[in-house]
Structure 1
Amino acid sequence: MEWFTRYTTQLELVYAKAEERIAAFPAPLGSLGLAYAHKFNPVKHDSNKDYICSLLPFWMKEPSGINDSQCEALALANVYGMLYFFIQDDVMDSKPASNWKEQLALGNLLMLEMFRVFRELFPSASPFWAYYDHYVTNWAESVTNEDRDDYFINDPIRTAGKAGPVKIASTGALLLAGRPELIAKMELAIDIVLMSLQMSDDYQDWKEDLAEGSYNGLLAMIAANRTAEDSLSEQKVENEIFIRGCLGPYVQLAIDNEKRLIELEAGSSELVAFHSFILKHLNHTHETIESNKKLLLEGGFNYFLSTQHINQE
């Protein structure tokens, strides 16, 4: 995980700056904001999502050549943006909470902080702002339509749209470096990584998503092979995962993503390394399930043989 560990000191400084600003928010928003910042700080908590949200500006040093100061500014803006969009997700995905007013108010203050940083980097005439509008519009479309349009089945790369605003940092880095010709290729590379990241999250969260009725790529793949009347239950999904081996074709999509990402040659070796980290965990999960299934089957066969031997005696 060198793509993470080499930046921990800089990340600590970025989060310290963010927390200093958040602590000055009006009560009780300051304490609520600090709790969010602590929860999503990858230096303090292991979370795939928070890795890319916080680290992408640093991974862009290789293809863009921006300096440390610019990386840290983009990372700071991304932290505020990450917290803002996570709050939006919480409000949309959860049953109405008693503090929803505080959450929405906090989100707006975080958005102001994000814009404050970006305005220092990009003048009003910069094409950066058109890219920002595009990514947020794509996010809004994705969170609204992914279930209705069944993104994972019909066009799986679109599942990256929910995390699309993270690309504000990569595009910002390339604009600061005067390399706009690389933006389209980098956007595709990040979408590939975000798709696999979403797949990893969907495997981890399938029980919760099933219970809440939230869209989930793994559940969508399982449901696609069943009739509309044959609704999914936890037991049916477990049968598909642990008995019928549905993770095989699921993981193959991430394997194909890895090949596509490498062939794209977007220029960020650390982004590729992060994708390999995601794929390794997905592969390990699949291989462990298949290994355990094989052992259980062999154990049953050996038991059958032993009982036959006893019966013969």
Structure 2
Amino acid sequence: MRWFTDYEEEIKMALELAREAVKAYPSSLRETAETMLRRADPRHNRSNYVAYLLPLWLAKDERHAAAAIRLAGAHFLAALHFGLVDDMMDEPPAVWSGERRQLLLLSQLLQESFKAEYRRHFSSDSVVWEDLGRYTSEWAVAALNERARIADPRNVRQLAAKAAPVKLGASALLELRGEPEQRTAAERAVELTLATLQLADDWADWQDDLTQPEGNAFLSLVREHLPLQDQEAPWDARLVKRAVYHYGALDGLSRIADDLCARLSPLTGVSPMLIAYQRSICDGIRRDARAARAESDRLVLGGFHYHLHNFLKK
């Protein structure tokens, strides 16, 4: 995990910068923001590591290290902003409590703090702002359509769009490095990584998504693996487990993730840390698939022994 352990000090500094930014907020909002930043600390909690580490991975030398840390701090704030928006979309405004309204205000402050840090490094005519607008639009479309269309586990752009603003970290560092011509390739590399991460997240969250399975790519794959008579049945945990343990749905997910890894590594100019991070995600899915196969074999063997035992007793 060098993609993480080599950057723990930088992460600490980035978080401190994010905390400095929220100190100017009204007290009740500041306390909430500070709590959220503690929970977002990837040194202690499961995290969307690429969102914060991408600027650090792309800072090739000391000239850009300080700016990369500051931008990583900005991305902590951006992640909180987009996370709050996602959460609030799950509950209609008509039933928002006073606390929910406070979170809406906090979201706006976090967004402004994120942009303020970017304005320290990029002029108003920088292509970075155009990229921010484009990535935000991609995210908005993905959020709008999440329940309107079935997630495609093989559609890289669709999967990556749910975290599209993360790509700004690559655009920003390439601009600082004076290598804007690499933006297209870097964007594709980050999309492949974000798509892999989304597959892993959908596998981890499938039980929470059973009531609205359309936006979960793993559950889309589950439907493909079920027998025809089960594909139209109401979603429940029993069906998903059947797809995993009897019909190889998790093996299918692992193959798709491995394909995304195979597509990333040959790209030129890709950060070795980005490649290592994506591989760690694929390895995790593959381990889970192996464990599911082992459990399936155990259950089959156990059933065989049970019936053999009963037969021999006769």
Check whether TM > 0.5: yes
2:64 is aligned to 67
Q: Structure 1: which 4+ aligned runs deviate by more than 3 Å?
A: 94-97, 211-214, 223-229
Cα pair 1:223 1:232 within 8 Å, conserved: no
Of 245, 256, 279, the residue aligned with 1:276 is: 279
Question: Could you tell me which amino acid in structure 2 is paired with residue 237 of structure 1?
Answer: V
Alpha-carbon RMSD across the aligned residues, in angstroms, is 2.0
Of 303, 307, 311, the residue aligned with 1:308 is: 311
Cα pair 2:245 2:296 within 8 Å, conserved: yes
Gap change, CA 1:235 and 1:219, over 3 Å in 2:
same
Does residue 160 of the first structure (1) align with residue 160 of the second (2)?
yes
Does residue 30 of the first structure (1) align with residue 30 of the second (2)?
yes
Q: How does 1:124-143 map to 2 (within 5 A)?
A: 124-143=124-143
Return the offset for 1:230: 2.6
SS at match of 2:211: helix
**Residues of 2 paired with 1:65 and 1:138: CA distance?**
33
SS at match of 1:209: coil
Return the offset for 1:61: 2.1
CA-to-partner distance for each residue in 1:127-171, whole Å, 9 max, x for gaps?
111111110011111111243232415734311101010111110
CA-to-partner distance for each residue in 1:184-221, whole Å, 9 max, x for gaps?
11111111111110111111111111135562111122
SS at match of 1:76: helix
1:121 is aligned to 121
Q: How does 1:290-305 map to 2 (within 5 A)?
A: 290-305=293-308
Cα pair 2:151 2:214 within 8 Å, conserved: no
Runs (5+) with no aligned partner, structure 2:
none
Return the offset for 1:23: 3.0
**Residues of 2 paired with 1:6 and 1:252: CA distance?**
29
**Residues of 2 paired with 1:66 and 1:242: CA distance?**
51
Q: How does 1:58-97 map to 2 (within 5 A)?
A: 58-62=56-60, 67-94=64-91, 96-97=95-96
CA-to-partner distance for each residue in 1:54-103, whole Å, 9 max, x for gaps?
111111124x8852111112111111111111111111135755221111
SS at match of 1:218: helix
Runs (5+) with no aligned partner, structure 1:
none
1:186 is aligned to 186
Gap change, CA 1:295 and 1:154, over 3 Å in 2:
closer
1:52 is aligned to 50
Of 228, 233, 250, the residue aligned with 1:230 is: 233
Cα pair 1:146 1:159 within 8 Å, conserved: no
Q: Percent of counterpart pairs with the same letter?
A: 27
Cα pair 2:221 2:252 within 8 Å, conserved: no
Return the offset for 1:21: 2.4
Gap change, CA 1:205 and 1:72, over 3 Å in 2:
same
Gap change, CA 1:222 and 1:165, over 3 Å in 2:
same
How many residue pairs align between the two structures?
Answer: 308
2:259 is aligned to 256
SS at match of 2:206: helix
2:221 is aligned to 221
| Bigger Cα displacement from structure 2, 259-268 vs 282-291 | 259-268
SS at match of 1:207: coil
Cα pair 2:218 2:253 within 8 Å, conserved: yes
Gap change, CA 1:172 and 1:258, over 3 Å in 2:
same
SS at match of 1:264: coil
Gap change, CA 1:220 and 1:36, over 3 Å in 2:
same
Cα pair 1:23 1:33 within 8 Å, conserved: no
**Residues of 2 paired with 1:164 and 1:65: CA distance?**
27
**Residues of 2 paired with 1:65 and 1:269: CA distance?**
18
Cα pair 2:254 2:285 within 8 Å, conserved: yes
